[in-house]
Structure 1
């Protein structure tokens, strides 16, 4: 899998190199807003059956690239594959999100956990990476990803989604040693998982710290940032992953951008609650920035979408190191034609800024 990339502007931007225009991809770009995705999921029978079929995962990964001039593909999978591989029994109830049959609540539960076998329980993910790379034919780079240790722990301890994940927070306050043991196991697992994706053919990596913003400043540093830094260090030490750019995205953690940049990652995802000009100042040019349009803007008219795209790009300015994205994942009710408006405007206005 050494074919030359036909479009490398996403990787160039992550290296903070000059590009002909601003690269763009969209979190959850392969998802429920696309009718072709819904048809493929119906054919698979369930979300897990879809995610665990390398061929179907490849099919839905490529679907948005057939509609839009995107600058990257992202592996179709789920952030909760690691805890599922740990034997927690992941399922998706209709309309209720993820649920675990065996949540992690006690010391005995934590002590039973180990790093999954990446070519055993998680081979389907690596096979999907290999199939997608083959079918991309060098069209655009492929992003592999994982949930952060903190975010995985949130779901594992709660057993399902939550607004505040108070069970894990209580563990951190009442049994910090136990919480750290859980997070350390997850950090080793996330690192091994991303290294395996790199070895299988991923060309960039991303960590989704979806729930890091639930923590106060000191707790964020202790229970979220610390373990993402551990993952970055492990990736930089391994030959399969050390040359791949890594993006950290910690939603709601804009006040920690400087500390996140200190980890040595290549890029930081930024949500829509911080201006990109302020984010650039916070990281002082040390990393690329990815973001940060409010996903709800895609529910507005095309003219509003174009205006808000330009506002985001103007806030970053004509500087290298910007990957345009939403500030979080695209929502199911979005009209696909509105995504095309966004992608086309990013490219057109990016050329204008450089010209």
Structure 2
């Protein structure tokens, strides 16, 4: 065991956890005042759901066993998971590996909330997340990171392009389509931008642990992942700002922060697999794509992705996965860029999209048998905060 590696992954686990309240502030600042409490609740509940499911069966089903799609229950409740030794050939103990990986489903499920805040029944959302983590996140994480079928074909996903961003973005969009549009869709100019900037900053800060921590050691791979994360986000934010200046003749703070998030999303699958110059290109390209998705595609197709979870995470994740296949460095991955690698990347994303979309439909239909997915019209009209939570935000 290596003390420096242990310290870095402990810090990284805390940084990834910090991303959840960061996202709560980011989303909360962009929400209508009458739904701010509901937005905060829908994001933060992911910490509880993720923590409970991961400890009980999630970790075991993800990283125990060698099945192509799912693991087994040998390590349920962290049974026989060592806090001092590694069975994975790592310089950190299995218990720390489990702790770090357990932070990822929390932020993944929190992202989904961005598509449906303001109209989804909170009880239904809790039930949805419980089932979604078991039926979407866990098998997908096993297939990608637990030596499952996607990993066996050589797909590259350093820190969660498929597992985190595409899965949550696609599920958020499908769930939003099933629930339907808000009865009054408003494009607000009066938002709490202080919360959005602070939340976005915490997301950005936490992302260094998210990506660089995925090296699972304090080494050169962590350094390249940290560097690429910073570069991609910076170039994406600046590109977004330039497009705003050219198209709207003004700079929107919310847009600048969204641009940074888009860059962070896109570099996630390739953070430890590409060179810094490629990270620059990824940031610029994804900013253009995500800008189009959130400002043009969303309006033309008419879907109500409330806070652009799909536009930033779904689209950003797909673009990041493709660009990872195009820009992967042989010195970092051991693989040469080829049509085969690109095909593998696309195949992994297709599996992710199909799994997330199909299971979201099934889970939503099952939840609807227990409780309505959507709140009553009267509650939606006056805001969900007091009726669902007994609290209001001033």
Query: When the two structures are superposed, what TM-score results if normalisation uses the length of structure 2?
Result: 0.28
Where is the helix percentage greater, Structure 1 or Structure 2? 2
Query: When the two structures are superposed, what TM-score results if normalisation uses the length of structure 1?
Result: 0.30
